[in-house]
Amino acid sequence: MNLLAGKIVVVTGGAAGIGAAICRLFAGEGAKVVVADIDATLAKSLAEEISGLGIAVDVRDEEAVRAVFSECESAYGRLDILVNNAGIVPPQVNIWEIDLADWQVVLDINLRGAFLCTKHAMPLLKVHGGSILNMSSRMGLHGAPMQSHYSASKFAMRGLTESVAREAGPFGIRVNSICPGTVETERFRERIAGRAKAAGITEAKLIAESFTDPAALRRVVQPEEIAATALFLVSDAAAAITGEHIRIDAGR
């Protein structure tokens, strides 16, 4: 439908999972997409597939983040949309057993990365207006046992979203977040395999008990379904929506 014709987009963590689904959908809608990911090989191969630009970046590194936006400007002359998607889901651990270093890694990738990318995207976005989309989580709306670091980082993403929406609005920049429930990515399947083995139950039983039975729609969510909502939020269809959070979790 070409909803994003002529738009220039940076997607962090764009090389796999939800980010890759967003890159593919946005490119299919006419955008030029910068796939910015710590995995250089995957970023470049997806960029080639969608005729975009693949850039290796660790979103925790301010100089590397600055370079992403200057490369974007050199290649395309502007920026319209930033998707702060890069993030990690840590293993489940009680708070009294979380190492400080592990706590810090989660907060650094999930939150500091979004701060740095937003900071360095703003000068480009302010030129023409645009949109920022932050990947929060269902665990950014409700606390979850053994996920306190992850949940705290995702609650913070919503605070960042609402605050930056207030600051950036006068420049014609909208800022929203998506709060996915369980999304069936390759990484999710790996996590399930590990947890099922540790619990001594089948993957099917674990998925049913923990994810699909509690969901009104009795299923998990596909990455393409997150991408579809991302497209809505950055498109003109959502022109008056800012500082908002959309939960996509099949009715958990």
Q: Calculate the CA 168 to chain-centre distance.
A: 19
Four-point Cα dihedral 34, 37, 41, 47, nearest 10: -20
Q: Which residues pair with 135 in a beta bridge?
A: 178
150 is catalytic: yes
Intra-chain end-to-end CA distance of the chain, in Å: 31
Query: Can residue 13 be called a binding residue for ligand NAD (CB under 6 A)?
Result: yes
What is the per-residue binding string for ligand NAD in 185-224, x denoting contact by CB under 6 A?
Answer: x-xx------------------------------------
Residues 105-134 that bind ligand NAD (CB under 6 A): 109, 113
Helix axes 17-28, 186-199, angle to 10 degrees: 160
Active-site position among 26, 115, 150, 211: 150
Helical segments of 134-240, H only: 148-168, 186-199, 203-207, 223-234
Residues 42-81 that bind ligand NAD (CB under 6 A): 57-60
Closest to ligand NAD by CB, 4 vs 221, is 221
Q: CB of residue 59 vs ligand NAD: minimum separation in angstroms? A: 4
**Of 116-124, 161-169, 182-190, 194-202: span binding ligand NAD (CB under 6 A):** 182-190
What is the per-residue binding string for ligand NAD in 142-181, x denoting contact by CB under 6 A?
Answer: --------------------------------------x-
Query: What is the rounded distance in angstroms from the CA atom of residue 87 to the CA atom of residue 52?
Result: 21
Q: Which amino acid is at 190?
A: E
Q: Which of 180, 185, 178 is nearest to 252 (CA)?
A: 180
Residues that bind ligand NAD (CB under 6 A): 12-13, 15-19, 37-39, 57-60, 85-89, 109, 113, 135, 137, 180, 182-183, 185, 187-188
What residues are annotated to the active site? 150
